[in-house]
Every structure is written in structure tokens, then in C-alpha cells.
Structure 1
Amino acid sequence: MERQRRSYSVHKGTIITRKTHLVAMMKRKQNELEKSGRTLYQAVGMAIPQLVQLVNKYQQQGYRVQLDTDTIELVDDVINDNACVQRQPMLWLMNHPEMPYGGSGPLAGLK
């Protein structure tokens, strides 16, 4: 994949040209969240909104950021009395086997 170039006058942010760049950016964001103590989202079984916003931002700019639908499902947040018993599938960015933390769980293989 070739690197895209823009003049400084129209530069609007980072251009992701490789999947590994997106993975690295999400890893940096994850470390940032851990330092600030906001990883509570994972403990309650919710998607991390900052990472979702990051992906949405690049999709709106027209870049193809594809997350594998075999391992990632996005469902509206359902909160009711049976929330503990009946868990809805959430968007786990870490569930993808190619993600830095490995698959099968939100923090599986975390070092």
C-alpha cells in the first residue's frame, strides 16, 4: 500500500494506510486509557467509546477501516434489570486475533 501525501494546507490528521498502523494507534490509545484509569469500560462489558470514536472518525473521512465481523459484533447497549444474566454482544476491539491482546476475551493474553 502506498503512502498518501497531502500538502500542509489541507492536512487534517493522520492518514492510516496500513492495518498495522491502526492496531498501533489503538494500542497507544489503550495504554493512554489504562494510565488514566478509564479501563472500567472493559470490566463492565462495554465497548471503549474512545476507540469506537477513533474508528468512526477515520471511516467518516473515507478511509476503509474494516473490523472482522466474525469476531466483532456491534449491538445497541441494552441495560435492564437482567443485564447481569442476559449479556448482549458488544463491540470488543480486543477480540480480533490480530489485535495486540489476542482473542477470546477483553483482556486475554494481556502482558
Structure 2
Amino acid sequence: MLYTLGVAFLSLMPLSDEVVEESPVSDKFVHFVFYTIFAIVWLLYFQTNERLKVKKYLKVFLSVFVFGMIIECFQYIMPYNRHFDLTDVFFNLCGGLLGILLMFIVFKVKKA
């Protein structure tokens, strides 16, 4: 998916010290929003391609976790202004859970 590639690119591109210091928005909020949308995009993909079951929600949650961990591990080994942060992983998961919850509600309302 293009969105997933976009998140990976933005998460791994080098940042200057000025960008990090002058950012008006907390990077934790950015993680939360990116991964909320990540979960929504993937659940919409599964919803259009297969009947959405509990298994799909679990797959998306695990995908959010694994993708976020892979990105954080890559940031750890990057030679420029990126680093591994467990708080980022936490906000990735929280955002993913919110996206899953929102889509669960939307699918339930749509079904009714």
C-alpha cells in the first residue's frame, strides 16, 4: 500500500536538528495519527477484499506492532538523527487501537 510506504519513508528520512527542535507538534502525536490512519487503511483494504472477521482486526493490530517495531529498529541503526524509542512504539499501538476501534464501530453501524 502506498500509505504504508509513505509512513516508512517519512519515518526513516533524515531530520535536521532544527526541524526536530522547532516542530510545533509532538512527534508522539504524529505517531498516534499516522498509526490510526495506518490501521484504518488496512482494515478498509481487508473489508473490500475479504469478509471482515475478528481475525482481520488481530492481523491489523499485529501489523501495526510489527511495522512500528521494524521502523524503530531501522531508526536505531540509522547513522543520522533517528533513534529507537519505546514511547513511539506505545503511541503507534495506541493509534492503531484507536483506528481499529473506530472502524469496528463504523462497520457495526453500517451493518445495522
The TM-score, its normalising length taken from structure 2, stands at: 0.40
Specify which structure has the bigger relative contact order, considering alpha-carbon pairs within 8 angstroms and separated by 6 or more residues. 2
Q: Which is richer in helix?
A: 2
The TM-score, its normalising length taken from structure 1, stands at: 0.40
